[in-house]
A and B are shown apart, each in its own frame.
Chain A
Amino acid sequence: MADPTSRPVPRPTPETQHYWDGTKVGELRLQRCDDCEEVYFPPRPFCPKCSSKSVTVFAASGLGTLHSYVINARPHPAWAQPYSIALVKLAEGPTLMSNVIGCPQTPEALELDMPLQVTFEELTETITLPLFKPSEARA
């Protein structure tokens, strides 16, 4: 029943293009302010903390922790079963929304603060989504 192609496809803007170029080549790209060192997300060509326009795109480690989530039971055309919608706190500081895959979608398996690592899933020819799975480094 589920039709993964019905998943909403992001449309990059000039300010976010580097992020989507990154996921396509297996990098989770963030930005760091050259003046105050703030690491931030979502992308924009200036620092949200100090307004500096001197910012640098870099590849993040792809590591993070499960900060919070819900397990959606409402129907969505792209998913057949209940699935997690997660907030992942990246090792570099920012938090982003994603899905945790590679484990049962249950409160027991989805333990808050569990270590996660990024994995990439191609959605279209131009868009690859960063998803997260339980970290392999986990004991």
Chain B
Amino acid sequence: MTDVAIVGAAETTELGKIPGMSQLQLHADAAFNTLADAGLSVGDIDGVATAGESPTGVAHYLGITPHWVDATAVGGCSFMIHVRHAVAAIQSGQCETVLITHGESGRSNIGRGGRPGGAATLAGQFEMPYGPVGAPTLFTLPVLRYMKDFGLTHEQLAMVAVVQRQWAGLNPRASFHDPITVDDVLNSRMIAYPFHLLECCLVTDGGGALILTAAERAKNFPQPPVYILGSGESVETPMISQMQDLTSSRAFRVAGSRAMADAGINHADVDHMMVYDAFAHLPIYGLEDLGFCQKGEAGSFIAEGNTAPGGCLPLNTNGGGLSFMHSGMYGMYALQESVRQIRGTAAAQVPDAQVSLCLGVGGMFGASGCVVLGNT
């Protein structure tokens, strides 16, 4: 339990294809929507955290003079880690009101900086020569090992995408709404065996932001407070080829167990869950590494409908990176959905959602941040 709450949360006005905005402007659009949501103005912000852009660039662009900045950039879960760091900063009095921004021109590529990684990095020497073409050929590498060791079937993997499309069908802001079947998934274009197109995340434009402040102030804001009950973070490896165990993420295990212990909750307390789904196997790893399922059982757990609308553990209720949107660093959108669920304002609202667990991944199982949110 912490003494900090989320009092502002919003996404960019549009999501999907936004060719008229630079990446930096996507940060600003999300920031202004979030300030409006919280009833605050730029002058009320004294802490800035971001990834993708630098907090220097975002603070300057918005006209903020921060007392505190955090540029933690470990991939798509950076925003979960910003939340964790902001909690510590607010609790220790380093700043009062933190703005966390995300914006990414993932599809339109407007004003987006280059990606690092030269020929002399470890990945440049020991992975790139073997022909990986981005995340679809790297993040997917562990899965055949998992399938052989634990009996996960191609159909069960496909069901992750099928179930998340069911959620997306309930969300007007999702990129895709039409129901899909296992056959649709398995007949979609092969991207990198065993992954088909519909088992890979979307590539879109968008953004989102959050504002955090002390819980004691939180009741004075227009929106119901969303309390940060606990958080965790960790990193494992910058190269997926060096994962300790291809069937489990150490960063998930460390960040997840710390967040749950921090929050003082057990599995039965979790009403709603988000697991960053860059690819269809992520929810399977997340459910198992956090102990919601026994090892090897998450595939059937999902295929049997337990995480689907009406199931016992509603998961990725915005449709996820597979069907809602995915700009590249999706963690912010997972957090936004957790906030909406706890506020009771989600498009596919889970009845009486009091505790939401939001698990992010960074890089290719390289990092993780986990945040537990609650309404009390």
Using a CB–CB cutoff of 8 Å, the interface residues on chain A facing chain B are 7-13, 16, 20, 41-42, 67-76, 78-79, 82-83, 85-87, 95-99, 107, 112-113, 123, 129
Contacts and interface: CB of A to CB of B under 8 A. Distances in A.
Contact of A71 (B138, B193, B241): B193
A113 B375 CA distance: 49
B57 to A, nearest CB: 30
B157 to A, nearest CB: 13
Contacts of B136: 74
Given A72-B192, A73-B191, A85 B141 contact: yes
A41 B241 CA distance: 10
Contacts of A113: 148
B339 to A, nearest CB: 35
Contacts of A41: 126, 242
Contacts of A99: 130-131
B242 A112 contact: no
Smallest CB-CB A-B distances: 8 pairs: A10-B125, A68-B145, A71-B193, A11-B119, A97-B241, A70-B192, A11-B120, A8-B128
Interface size class for chain B?
35 or more
A87 B131 contact: no
B133 A72 contact: yes
A11 B122 CA distance: 9
A68 B143 contact: yes
Given A7-B129, A12-B125, A73 B194 contact: no
B120 A12 contact: yes
B113 interface: no
B241 A96 contact: yes
Nearest to B127: A97
Contact of B130 (A12, A42, A98): A98
Contacts of A69: 141, 144
Given A10-B129, A123-B129, 8 more contacts: A8-B119, A8-B129, A69-B141, A70-B140, A74-B134, A79-B131, A85-B131, A96-B241
B118 interface: yes
A118 to B, nearest CB: 13
B190 interface: yes
A10 B124 CA distance: 6
A112 B148 contact: yes
A74 B130 contact: no
B126 A10 contact: yes
Contacts of B142: 68, 87
Contacts of B246: 67-68, 87
B365 to A, nearest CB: 13
Contact of B194 (A12, A20, A70, A98): A70
Interface in B214-268: 239, 241-242, 246
19 contacts: A13-B120, A67-B246, A68-B141, A68-B246, A70-B137, A71-B190, A74-B136, A74-B192, A78-B131, A85-B141, A85-B192, A87-B145, A87-B246, A95-B242, A97-B126, A97-B130, A99-B130, A107-B193, A113-B148
